[in-house]
């Protein structure tokens, strides 16, 4: 079991991993003690593993969390100093001249997957409005689709229409990946910011706009001194998948793409404080872990990526 703690002025990022779910209570207990020692309050908590066991272990924190079914066990926490309160199932950080809202596990209802997606976005809009936010304040989303490869194209159509109706000209940074908590087709976490400078990154030195090939998200978002890197994979500047069938080459290409985005923002891979490595299957994950190329704390997760020929995806948060 490992628990990496990165502290910044007024913030902390915790990344924990374990080989067996029996270690989940210890990870959460250690995390709770670390938060108390550093005087920070959790804004977001994400737990990977068998849901029931992770939910039980999370009682040590007593805050809303995202639970994603996974054979591997992992924990990611972002915590801050200041006035933090529970709000609409999420957490609201009031910094006086700024406010930050993080809401986990927004789900929709309805029979078909697209109907659930429409309902999910509608509910998210209601939660934002309840606290004086709107879609224009959303800097980052994390979206989990249980059957990702079956209807990702339809999902992008729903998302694009929601953002179009909201009048957005640039879309939030995002990760769209396979994931499930219960029986839902899709669920979403979101981060909204009011009063802090936010800049969306649409292109990078190595990758063009995701909109060019039908994906409705920005490559990243800069929120104050924090850089949110969207789900990034082995995709070239022309939108084609690179290194088809070669997990190690895709892993290296993905890291290069992340590094290029960070470099353009004055950061390096060593500035990453929390990340997730998604791999299509156990074999791909073993190949990636054997390379030991990632010089930052991350949680490894087995999940399908948005194209059948993509084997690896990385999302990250860096601070400068």
Tens of pLDDT along 67-105? 999 988 999 999 999 999 998 889 999 999 999 999 999
CA dihedral 52, 58, 60, 65 (to 10 degrees): -140
Provide the b/e sequence for 80-96 (b: ≥16 CB within 10 Å).
beeebeebeebbbbeee
| pLDDT score of 179 | 97
E runs forming strands in 32-178: 41-48, 66-68, 73-80, 83-87, 90-94, 99-107, 138-145, 173-178
What fold characterizes domain 197-320?
60s Ribosomal Protein L30; Chain: A; (3.30.1330)
Q: Where in the sequence of the chain do the CATH 3.30.1330.40 domains occur? A: 84-195, 197-320
| pLDDT score of 213 | 73
| pLDDT score of 293 | 86
The Cα 180–Cα 206 span in angstroms is 31
Query: Two tokens at 33?
Result: 């003690």
| pLDDT score of 294 | 86
CA angle (11, 131, 110) in 5-degree steps: 105
List the chain residues with pLDDT less than 70.
none
| pLDDT score of 259 | 98
Q: What is the pLDDT of residues 219-271, one digit of tens each?
A: 999 999 999 999 999 999 999 999 999 999 999 999 999 999 999 999 999 99
Q: How is residue 10 annotated by DSSP?
A: T
CATH of domain 84-195: 3.30.1330.40
| pLDDT score of 254 | 98
CA dihedral 106, 109, 114, 120 (to 10 degrees): -20
| pLDDT score of 88 | 80
| pLDDT score of 110 | 87
């Amino acid at each position: 079991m490992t628990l990496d703690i990165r502290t910044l002025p007024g913030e902390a990022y915790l990344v924990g991993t374990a080989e067996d779910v029996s270690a989940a209570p210890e990870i959460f207990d250690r995390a709770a003690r670390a938060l108390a020692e550093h005087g920070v309050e959790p804004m977001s908590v994400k737990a990977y593993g068998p849901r029931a066991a992770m939910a039980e272990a999370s009682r040590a924190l007593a805050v809303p969390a995202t639970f994603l079914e996974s054979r591997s066990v992992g924990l990611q926490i972002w915590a801050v100093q200041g006035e933090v309160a529970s709000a609409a199932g999420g957490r609201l950080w009031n910094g006086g001249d700024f406010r930050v809202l993080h809401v986990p596990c927004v789900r929709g209802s309805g029979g078909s997957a697209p109907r659930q997606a429409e309902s999910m976005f509608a509910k998210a809009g209601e939660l934002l409005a309840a606290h004086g936010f709107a879609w224009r304040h959303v800097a980052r989303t994390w979206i989990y689709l249980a059957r990702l490869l079956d209807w990702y194209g339809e999902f992008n159509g729903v998302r694009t229409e929601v953002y179009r109706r909201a009048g957005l000209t640039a879309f939030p940074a995002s990760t769209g990946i396979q994931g499930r908590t219960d029986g839902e087709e899709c669920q979403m976490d979101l981060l909204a910011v009011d009063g802090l400078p936010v800049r969306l990154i649409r292109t990078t030195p190595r990758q063009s706009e995701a909109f060019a090939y039908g994906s409705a998200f920005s490559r990243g978002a800069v929120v104050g001194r924090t850089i949110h890197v969207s789900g990034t994979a082995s995709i070239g500047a022309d939108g084609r998948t690179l290194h088809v069938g070669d997990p190690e080459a895709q892993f290296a290409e993905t890291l290069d793409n992340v590094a290029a985005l960070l470099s353009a923002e004055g950061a390096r891979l060593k500035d990453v404080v929390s990340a997730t490595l998604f791999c299509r299957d156990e074999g791909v994950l073993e190949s990636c872990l054997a390379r030991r190329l990632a010089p930052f704390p991350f949680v490894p997760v087995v999940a399908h990526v948005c194209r059948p020929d993509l084997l690896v995806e990385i999302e990250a948060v860096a601070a400068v």
